[in-house]
């Protein structure tokens, strides 16, 4: 079932991609816990494998429960198609996989999640790929970093952990001029707060583990394709624009047009990399997505109140949150994230590293976990955990210095959150 584009966002949250189960009439999307699907006959099987007909072959590739989630996220992002996978990190590899080859590179923002910085600076080298990291506020540097071997530009709409808002319009203009796709991680913002495709993104990736699921139960990822990029405009993307030897010589772009990337990611990416989302994870995420707008409004409201309180507390050196008027990125909110700057920000505590550790240990309501986007309020000290593997210069560039904690504000009563932070700061700075 496709949801009409003129339906409101909240209607799409609940109905996009879903319909009553044709076999039973079940109104909620069932968990199709199966590995394989019976073909009608030999010709039907051949049509499916030739991509002449859409259907189900094997759950490493497609599954009805996961397909509903993929269509729902694609609809919310305004994309042509999407593929769901096992985690946000898997989504990043899935996004790059059809584009890259040995000797090629991706130009990436220095303001990114620590795991992404490590994945791009270290792990992708094993594929023969490389990454060039640039301050995306320096547009000339971004343009200069793109060379003949660049196959993608990558950034986060709202950066984790520092809450930095990327000027997507300016960055997409640069990537368009260079003829390479812009990949935007929209995990922190979600499609409720930001629509990267409207600002020129080619691909949008998510860790569905975070705000989309919203309850800290399952991991997952998603890649949404805008369907707008011309993969045949140059010879840079042979897997999409030329006969693909990994799929009996099919030219994906010629055969499938705006759905070329999505079908390539399923037919080859999921087939060969195996980064599959399981149907139960999709089920949990579908339930979470239904309340996304309600939760994000509360996340933004609570984050703004807590960040304002912290900014005015003498025990705090600074707060990095674009929702504050004092932020250097506040002016981008109205254009990029008009409904708010999400529920994630960092706080520099007086006393540095030791005070941060004491603060984390002193909190009672906030949970000390390596996650974000939960309905519960969460905190972590990136320099000693999620970003520990980075050298000091990369820590600072990512907004995760040694004297900084990352806070993911939940949807609890704000008075309780402030009271818990107040008593923990007293212990940390005594």
Helix (H, G, I), strand (E, B) or coil at 388: coil
φ, ψ dihedrals at 50, nearest 5°: -85, 0
Alpha carbon separation from 215 to 212, 223, 390 (Å, rounded):
9, 21, 29
Residue 217's CATH number: 3.40.640.10
Q: Is residue 342 part of a domain?
A: yes
Q: Is residue 3 part of a domain?
A: no
Report the predicted TM-score, pTM, of the whole model to 2 decimal places. Answer: 0.94
> Domain containing 319: what range?
292-428
Same domain membership, residue 421 and residue 329: yes
Q: Is residue 1 part of a domain?
A: no
- Is the pLDDT at 145 greater than 60? The verdict is yes
Rounded to the nearest 10 degrees, how much is the dihedral formed by the CA atoms of 354, 358, 360, 364?
-170
Residues 251, 357 within the same domain: no
pLDDT tens digit sequence for 95-129: 999 999 999 999 999 999 988 999 999 999 999 99
Please tell me the distance from the alpha carbon of residue 296 to that of residue 343, in angstroms, as a whole number. 8
Q: Quick one: 296 and 282 in the same domain? A: no
311 lies in the same domain as 267:
no
In a shared domain, residues 297 and 161 = no
Residue 146, both tokens: 């793109």
Task: Quickly state the pLDDT bin for 1 (edges 50, 70, 90).
Answer: very low
| Residue carrying structure tokens 């996650």 | 371
Is residue 2 included in any domain, yes or no?
Answer: no
Model confidence pLDDT, tens digit, residues 407-422: 999 999 999 999 999 9
Closest listed residue to residue 371, CA positions, set 252, 194, 196, 217? 217
Q: Identify whether residues 200 and 305 lie together within a single domain.
A: no
Of 288, 322, 354, the one marking the end of a domain is 288
* 357-416 tens-digit pLDDT: 999 999 999 999 999 999 999 999 887 765 556 666 665 665 667 789 999 999 999 999
- The pLDDT value given to residue 186: 98
Q: Is residue 351 part of a domain?
A: yes
Of 242, 270, 288, the one marking the end of a domain is: 288
Closest CA to 278 of 69, 74, 92: 69
* Residue 222: strand pairing partners: 84, 206
Strand ranges, E, within 45-165:
81-85, 105-109, 130-134, 150-156
From CA 216, how far away is CA 367, in angstroms rounded?
A: 12
The phi and psi torsions of 304 (rounded to 5 degrees) equal -65, -45
Query: Is 241 contained in some domain?
Result: yes
Number of domains comprising the chain: 2
Q: Is residue 408 in a domain?
A: yes
Residues 253, 258, 263: CA angle, nearest 5 degrees: 70
Helices (H), 320-351: 333-336
From 288, 305, 340, give the residue that closes a domain: 288
Q: Which residue has the tokens 């409004």?
A: 297
DSSP state of 159: -
């Amino acid at each position: 079932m496709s949801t009409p584009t003129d339906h409101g966002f909240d209607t799409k949250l609940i109905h996009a991609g879903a319909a009553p189960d044709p076999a039973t009439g079940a109104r909620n999307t069932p968990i199709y816990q199966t590995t394989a699907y019976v073909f009608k006959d030999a010709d039907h099987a051949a049509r499916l494998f030739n991509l002449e007909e859409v259907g189900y072959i094997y759950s490493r590739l497609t599954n009805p429960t996961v397909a509903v989630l993929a269509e729902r996220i694609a609809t919310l992002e305004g994309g042509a198609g999407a593929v769901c996978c096992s985690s946000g990190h898997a989504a990043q590899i899935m996004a790059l996989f059809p584009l890259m080859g040995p000797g090629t590179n991706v130009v990436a923002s220095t303001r990114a999640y620590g795991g992404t910085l490590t994945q791009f600076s270290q792990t992708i080298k094993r594929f023969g790929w490389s990454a060039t990291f640039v301050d995306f506020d320096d547009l000339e540097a971004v343009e200069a970093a793109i060379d003949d071997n660049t196959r993608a530009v990558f950034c986060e709409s709202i950066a984790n952990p520092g809450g930095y808002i990327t000027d997507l319009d300016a960055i997409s203009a640069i990537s368009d001029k260079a003829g390479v796709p812009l990949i935007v991680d929209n995990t922190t913002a979600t499609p409720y707060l930001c629509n990267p495709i409207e600002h020129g993104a080619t691909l949008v990736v998510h860790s569905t583990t975070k705000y989309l699921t919203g309850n800290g139960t399952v991991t997952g990822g998603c890649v949404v394709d805008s369907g707008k990029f011309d993969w045949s405009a140059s010879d840079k993307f042979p897997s999409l624009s030329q006969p693909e030897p990994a799929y009996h010589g099919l030219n994906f772009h010629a055969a499938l047009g705006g759905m070329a990337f999505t079908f390539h990611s399923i037919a080859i990416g999921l087939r060969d990399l195996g980064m599959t989302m399981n149907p139960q994870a999709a089920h949990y995420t579908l339930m979470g997505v239904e309340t996304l707008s309600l939760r994000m409004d509360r996340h933004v409201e609570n984050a703004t109140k807590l960040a304002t309180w912290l900014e005015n507390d003498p025990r705090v050196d600074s707060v990095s949150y674009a929702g504050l008027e004092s932020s250097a990125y506040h002016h981008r909110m109205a254009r990029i994230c008009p409904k708010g700057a999400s529920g994630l920000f960092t706080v520099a505590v007086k006393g540095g590293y030791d005070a941060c550790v004491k603060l984390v240990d002193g909190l009672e309501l906030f949970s000390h976990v390596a996650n974000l986007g939960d309905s519960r309020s969460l905190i972590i000290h990136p320099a000693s955990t999620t970003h520990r593997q980075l050298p000091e210069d990369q820590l600072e560039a990512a907004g995760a210095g040694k004297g900084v904690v990352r806070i993911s504000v939940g949807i609890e009563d704000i008075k309780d959150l402030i009271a818990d932070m107040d008593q923990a700061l007293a212990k940390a700075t005594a």
